[in-house]
Amino acid sequence: MNDCIFCQIVKGEIPASKIYEDEKILVFLDVNPSTNGHMLVIPKEHYQDLFNLDEEIITHSVKVIKEKLYPLIKSKLNCDGLTICQNNGYGQEVKHFHIHLIPRYNDDGFVNSYNKDILLPNDQVYSTLIEK
Ligand code: AMP
């Protein structure tokens, strides 16, 4: 897609700090990192989100994360763990599927915040989800 910023990165039209690339995926540093080494795994082909993605991209990405990216992050940045997240629709700033890899360090201060005041009781949510 011409107006997609990640497609433009794939095509080399705008710069990115590339970490890994193969025929299916590209990995580069997030310009606004949550922790040191925060990177994005994207398919080279444009998919908006998880719901129209070729599932093979997930399988391939997990293999690359396990075999190449996590060992790299662990050995070079000495992280203590890895948080993986992925937004679809609401909360998704860039409408080109991407997986966030957020290296975690002891006492890194990273927080996934949410508003407890608007949470429904879990039994209410459960009955809504499973009602016939
Ligand atoms: P999301 O909110 O899940 O769509 O995340 C989009 C991410 O893309 C954000 O963390 C941005 O900082 C990052 N981002 C946006 N533009 C660029 C870019 N040109 N290069 C690298 N990362 C980017």
- As for how many domains the chain has, the answer is 1
The residue segments making up the domain with residue 43 are 5-130
What is the value of pTM for the model shown?
A: 0.95
Distance of CA 70 to the CA centre of its chain: 14
Q: Which residues contact 104 (CB under 8 A, 6 or more apart)?
A: 35, 79, 80, 81, 82, 83, 110
Domain of 54, CATH number, reads: 3.30.428.10
Contact residues for 102 (Cβ-Cβ < 8 A; gap 6+): 34, 35, 38, 82, 83, 84, 85, 110
Active site residue 100: no
For the segment 11-26, the average pLDDT, to the nearest whole number, is 98
Say how many C-beta atoms besides its own lie within 10 A of residue 84's C-beta.
Answer: 13
If one residue of 11, 17, 38, 40 were mutated to test the ligand 1 pocket, choosing by the most ligand atoms within 8 A of its CB, it would be: 40
Closest CA to 20 of 77, 64, 82, 66: 64
CA of 71 relative to ligand 1 center, distance in Å? 23
Cβ-Cβ contacts under 8 Å for 60 (sequence gap 6 or more):
24, 25
pLDDT digits (tens, 9 = 90+) for 60-118: 999 999 999 999 999 999 999 999 999 999 999 999 999 999 999 999 999 888 899 99
